[in-house]
Copies of this chain bind each other. A is one copy, B any other.
Amino acid sequence: MEIPEEIEDWIESIGGMERIIGNLPDEKSLENRSRTYKALSDPIRLKILHLLSMHPLCVCLIKQAVGISDSKLSYHLSVLKSAELIKGVRKRNWIIYEITEKGLRYVD
């Protein structure tokens, strides 16, 4: 396999392809990061995240703001929650969702 000279020199200088490959993040952390990004990869979910960055809210108000069906909202909340971007705490009849530290890093 031929490769461009400039690149070949760089690889040489850095200690070979093995070294380069060794510098890549491990599978585990790539998986983790990609899972977070997947949770963020939907406009509805980004909207919810923004909303919750202003103040914790019950599902019924999130629903009012986002304008989708209960079960659809519930699905998206669960995606954000398993990515630990939001968390929900029960309060009487409601579940109040709030953004996490981690979630906050992805808004604005």
Contact = CB atoms under 8 A, between A and B. Distances in A.
Interface string A10-35: 11001001001101110100110111
Interface in A27-45: 27, 30-31, 33-35, 37-38, 40-43, 45
A45 B92 CA distance: 44
Contacts of A41: 34-35, 37-38, 40-41
A55 B51 CA distance: 39
* Copies of this chain, whole number: 2
Interface bin, chain A: 35 or more
Contacts of A93: 2
Contacts of A1: 60
A65 interface: yes
A100 B20 CA distance: 20
Contacts of A46: 25, 30, 33-34, 37
Given A11-B61, A37-B41, 19 more contacts: A2-B93, A3-B60, A3-B94, A4-B91, A4-B94, A7-B55, A7-B57, A7-B96, A14-B54, A17-B61, A17-B65, A20-B54, A20-B65, A24-B50, A25-B50, A27-B43, A33-B43, A34-B43, A38-B38
